[in-house]
Amino acid sequence: MPTDITTKRAQFRTLHASGCFVIPNPWDVGSAIALQSLGFPALATTSAGMAWSMGRADGGVQRDEVLAHLAALASRTDVPLNADFENAFAREPSGVAANVTLAVATGVAGLSVEDSTGDAAEPLYDFTLAVERIAAGRAAIDKTGADVFLTARSEGFIRSRPDLAETIRRLTAYAEAGADCLFAPGLRNADEIDAVVNAVAPKPINVISPGLPVAALAALGVRRISVGGSLARAAWGEFLRAARRIAAEGSFDDFANGAPGGELNRLFSDAPA
Answer yes or no: is 260 within a domain. Answer: no
SS3 93: helix
pTM > 0.85: yes or no: yes
Answer yes or no: is 247 within a domain. Answer: no
Answer yes or no: is 121 within a domain. Answer: yes
pLDDT tens, 224-263? 999 999 999 999 999 999 999 999 999 999 999 999 999 9
Q: Which is it for the CA torsion 228, 229, 234, 235, positive or negative?
A: positive
Answer yes or no: is 193 within a domain. Answer: yes
In this structure, the number of other CB atoms found within 10 A of the CB of residue 180 comes to 19
Q: What pLDDT is attached to residue 271?
A: 74
Answer yes or no: is 273 within a domain. Answer: no
Answer yes or no: is 240 within a domain. Answer: no
Mean pLDDT of 186-212: 97
117 near 125, Cβ under 8 Å? yes
Q: What percent of the chain lies above the pLDDT cut of 70? A: 99
CATH of the domain at 20: 3.20.20.60
Answer yes or no: is 263 within a domain. Answer: no
Number of domain units in the chain: 1
What phi and psi, each to the nearest 5 degrees, are found at residue 111?
-155, 155
**Helix or strand (DSSP H, E) at 263:** helix 261-269
Q: Provide the Cα torsion 60, 65, 70, 71; round to 10°.
A: -170
Answer yes or no: is 268 within a domain. Answer: no
**158: domain range?**
5-228
